[in-house]
Amino acid sequence: MPKSDQNNEVIVVDAAEVSVENQIGIAESEKLRKQVLTLRDTIEKSYYGLGKELRRVMDGRLRDGTPVWKSWGFVSFDDYCERELGFRERKAYYLLDVFASVENGPFSEEDVERLGWTKAASLAPLVKKGIITQNNVSDWLDKTQGKSYQELREITSKAKSCAAKVASEARSEATKNGTDPDKAVAEAVGKISAESVDIQKSTDTIYMFRVGFHEEQWNVWQTALKKAKDITGSDKDAWLVECIASAFLAECLNNRDDMLEVMLSRLEEAYGVKILAVNHSGEVQHCHEDIASLADRIQ
């Protein structure tokens, strides 16, 4: 069996183990390489197609078993994404998830196109978890329509927490009754609705501003914006501006502890996570109130 390519390890593959559908000739692999680059340059219109071709790059093997990305001179798929495509592996996996949610899941290409790739990627984990299914996909899409990227991240986090609780209860009940626990879990998780995770329309005040740029300033801004997009995987300008401004403040403010607190709190809010940050001396610098007991054990 192939070895994992995590941590930039070289994959060793027996050519006899390569499935016919994943075999790619040298000429075809070069064509695939050019196609991915073309799709990358038009990502806002071709994210589904890009995800599809990235799957071929990840799984594709030459007839001797060599991964196609290795034949192009890269040490791993992640290395290929960063050096060839110019974005971090997380963004590649987001695109792969979007493709899988259509290829093996309930979304249609039209659904993905309407959502946009960042929003589709934020909902893709719910497809993986069996929360969004063919039976309820229309309801989920209706209830999440008009939501921002950050709101969808919060929805995803709440739905996953709800699914973990529901799955545990369903498995326990099935074991007690002598029925199939996996089937019980799938049925219970698939019944989670958009309403059950308390989706609320954002009522935040929206502020607008306009600013003019000289050409050199415009080039600097575009470079910063592209970098923020690559790092965050988001295409929402307001969120990207906040990320850029926060990075600048982190470098300029004297009170770095306060800035760290602000940035980590914003990350918790945006990604629906709870962060415990410890410095090199073992001192807790930030701790979400829900996991304060962890901080007590560390100290």
The torsion angles phi and psi of 278, rounded to 5 degrees, stand at -125, 135
DSSP SS3 for 277? strand
pLDDT digit string, tens, across residues 97-118: 888 888 888 988 888 888 877 7
Report whether pLDDT(156) > 60. Answer: yes
Residue 182, number of CB atoms within 10 A of its CB: 11
How far is residue 240's CA from residue 233's CA, in Å, rounded to a whole number?
A: 10
> What is the pTM for the complete model shown?
0.56
The torsion angles phi and psi of 285, rounded to 5 degrees, stand at -100, -25
Q: Beta 284-287 vs 276-278: how paired, if at all?
A: antiparallel
- pLDDT bucket at 256, cuts 50 / 70 / 90: low
Of the candidates 245, 280, 252, 283, the residue with the CA atom closest to the CA atom of residue 266: 245
pLDDT digit string, tens, across residues 164-210: 999 999 999 999 999 999 999 999 999 888 777 865 555 556 777 78
Give the whole-number percent of the chain exceeding pLDDT 90.
22
Identify the pLDDT of residue 48.
83
- Structure tokens belonging to residue 86: 């110019």
pLDDT digit string, tens, across residues 6-43: 444 444 444 444 454 567 888 898 999 999 999 988 87
- pLDDT bucket at 3, cuts 50 / 70 / 90: very low
Residue 37, number of CB atoms within 10 A of its CB: 13
How far is residue 169's CA from residue 191's CA, in Å, rounded to a whole number?
A: 14
